[in-house]
C-alpha cells in the first residue's frame, strides 16, 4: 500500500517522500513499478487521503493501470468529495466512524453520521463501490488531548440500523 496525506506520499517502507508538486510524476513512477506485482492499492494512514490536492489525478493514474483502489477515510470530507467518489474511482471505501471523536468538527455526531450514511448510499448506487462503515473496538489515543472511545458504538450502530433499515446484532 501507499501512504498518502496532504503533504507527502511514502512508499510502504517509508523510504521515499514526495511533495504535492511532484506527486503526479512520482506517484505514476511508483505505480508503474508496483502494478506488475499487485492489482490493488490502498490509500490510507499517515493523513486523510481525501485532503490530498491531487486525489483525482491519483485515481486516474491507478485507473490507467487497471488497479483497484481501496480508500480508508475518516469520513469528514466525504460529502465534499462525493462527486468524485460516485465515479467508481475506488473499489472499496472504508469509513472509520469513530474518527468523529478524534476530530474537531463544526457539526454534531448526528449530522456527521447522516452525511456519511447519505454519501455511502449514493456512492454504492452510482457505481460498483463497496462502502464499509467501521467502528473501533478499543479506545484509541489519537492525540495528547483526544481519545476515541467505544462508548458511542451502540449509539452509532442504532443510527446506522435506523438509516439503512436493518438490524445488527452487537455483542459489544
Say how far apart CA 74 and CA 79 lie, in whole Å. Answer: 12
At residue 81, the pLDDT reads 96
CB 142 within 8 A of CB 105: no
Lowest-pLDDT range of 27-31, 62-66, 102-106, 139-143: 139-143
> Is pLDDT at 25 greater than 60 in this prediction?
no
The average pLDDT across 9-23 equals 45
Q: Quick one: CA torsion of 76, 77, 83, 85, rounded to 10 degrees?
A: -70
At residue 99, the pLDDT reads 73
At residue 145, the pLDDT reads 53
Q: Which residue has the higher pLDDT, 8 or 35?
A: 35
Strand partners, 41: 69
- Classified as helix, coil or strand, 25 is helix
The number of CA neighbours under 13 Å toward the Cβ of 104 is 3
Say how far apart CA 120 and CA 100 lie, in whole Å. Answer: 16
At residue 102, the pLDDT reads 65
Q: Which residue has the higher pLDDT, 148 or 42?
A: 42
The average pLDDT across 14-42 equals 72
Amino acid at each position: 500500500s501507499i501512504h498518502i496525506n496532504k503533504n507527502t506520499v511514502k512508499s510502504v517502507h517509508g523510504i521515499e517522500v514526495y511533495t504535492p508538486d511532484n506527486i503526479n510524476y512520482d506517484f505514476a513512477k511508483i505505480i508503474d513499478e508496483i502494478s506488475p506485482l499487485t492489482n490493488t492499492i490502498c490509500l490510507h494512514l499517515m493523513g486523510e487521503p481525501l485532503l490530498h490536492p491531487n486525489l483525482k489525478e491519483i485515481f486516474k493514474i491507478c485507473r490507467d493501470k487497471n488497479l483497484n483502489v481501496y480508500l480508508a477515510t475518516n469520513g469528514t470530507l466525504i460529502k465534499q468529495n462525493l462527486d468524485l467518489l460516485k465515479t467508481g474511482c475506488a473499489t472499496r471505501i472504508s469509513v472509520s466512524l469513530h474518527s468523529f471523536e478524534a476530530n474537531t468538527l463544526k457539526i454534531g455526531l448526528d449530522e456527521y453520521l447522516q452525511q456519511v450514511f447519505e454519501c455511502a448510499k449514493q456512492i454504492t448506487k452510482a457505481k460498483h463501490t463497496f462502502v464499509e462503515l467501521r467502528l473501533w473496538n478499543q479506545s484509541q489515543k489519537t492525540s495528547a488531548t483526544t481519545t476515541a472511545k467505544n462508548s458511542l458504538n451502540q449509539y452509532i450502530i442504532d443510527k446506522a440500523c435506523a438509516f439503512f433499515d436493518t438490524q445488527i446484532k452487537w455483542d459489544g
